[in-house]
Amino acid sequence: MTAPTAHSTSVSPTAARIWARSRGLLIALLVLALGGIAIAALKSGEQHGRLDPRSADRTGSRALATLLSERGVSTRVVTSTAEATAAAGPDTTLLVTNPNLLTDRQLSALRTSTERASGRTVLLAPDQVALDALAPGTRAADPADTAVRAPDCTLPAARRAGDAALGGVRYRTSASDADRCYLVDGLPTLLRLPDNAAGGTGPAAGDTVLLGAPDPLYNHRLAERGNASLALQLLGSHRHLVWYLPSVSDPATAQDSSERSFFDLIPSGWRWGLLQLAIAAVLTALWRARRLGPLVPERLPVTVPAAETTEGRARLYQQADARDQAAAVLRSATRTRLAPLVGVPPSDIHTADVLVPAVAARLAAHGESGPAPHALLFGPAPDDDKALVQLADQLDDLERSILLQERHAPREHPDS
């Protein structure tokens, strides 16, 4: 006869099961990573050459630099504060494309150099920190959408240019002689401050121009309305133009960053990001905790072999290192099965003073020897897995010996 095939009831995780359980999460993480890489690539492409007079990209400024060169204005590109302060002079326009990247020390150095010169300083969308250093007394207001607007001021450059694409940051100032142009809700998006209004102390009269948005300088918007005329007049009022492109690789930036704390280096919106992550974690916990009340038993749609459920529960005990609980379950089951065999009533199954003497008497009556019944049925929890396995074997031997005695015990005939 052919031996019956043994069916394995192992629930050990296999590669197929692990993949089936985790593939959804892995695919979601992969999609998220690819999306982040794509967004980063697009953003890096958009930032490449932004406001760079050497770039022909849509957001570059090569067309404006070419027009300035044709009108006799020399353009010098600098990427550090030291170069910018050294190039500032009496017949020079200093354009700072991103003053919000500058540290306090860099802003202070620029302030000192522009005070000594009689040229013009043009700042693109400066925030309040940059304004406090380079245009004291000026406040930044909420930004507005960029759109074609009329100048609505007496500044000659703006009146000659006419309508232009302006918007972005709006500004407030108490200077009476400041030129306020391209208003949005009564606040200018182009503000010209004379040297005394900007806090200058030099003997010559320079000025500071604040542009709320850099759109008139872009290649793809230069030909719209009066953008080219406005940009040429603002940047071409002197023979030399210093085009300052602030960079995080500037040694001055690295020096200041080393003196700042960790929280100073984190973007200002990290608190809101942390709050969003906390809310997402709470929502995820609520979503995963679908059973908030007591467990409700239900019938399974299929019949599960007892061996599988037993092995599954055993593996749960093993994963939790619950040897004490596993030993208690084994001992309780053994006591429940032994009690009727040795004549102990159900009410005393788990009472050592009643069950242990009955078991010991049964073993002694048939000359059985082995571990003390009390240590097996009511002893301490095993110290390791090996001791737990040994306890299970000894309980099986104890139960088997009493069962054999019960089977071989002489019984009286019913008719006797």
Mean pLDDT of 290-306: 71
Question: Comparing 117 with 322, which gets the higher pLDDT?
Answer: 322
pLDDT at residue 187, as a whole number:
93
pLDDT at residue 369, as a whole number:
66
Q: Is the pLDDT of residue 372 over 50?
A: yes
Give the model confidence (pLDDT) of 151-177 as tens digits: 999 999 999 999 999 999 999 988 888
Backbone phi and psi for residue 120, each to the nearest 5 degrees, phi listed first = -115, 145
* Pair of tokens at residue 397: 């031997």
Question: Comparing 309 with 389, which gets the higher pLDDT?
Answer: 389
Residue 22 corresponds to which amino acid? S
Q: Is the pLDDT of residue 45 over 70?
A: no
On average, the pLDDT of the chain sits at 81
Q: What does the domain layout of the chain look like in residue ranges?
A: 62-260, 315-408
Task: Assign 295 a pLDDT band (cuts: 50, 70, 90).
Answer: low
Of 110, 104, 137, 141, the residue nearest 123 (C-alpha): 110
Q: Is the pLDDT of residue 382 over 80?
A: yes
pLDDT at residue 7, as a whole number:
42
Give the model confidence (pLDDT) of 49-96 as tens digits: 788 999 888 999 999 999 999 999 999 999 888 888 888 888 899 999
Mean pLDDT of 197-220: 75
pLDDT at residue 254, as a whole number:
56
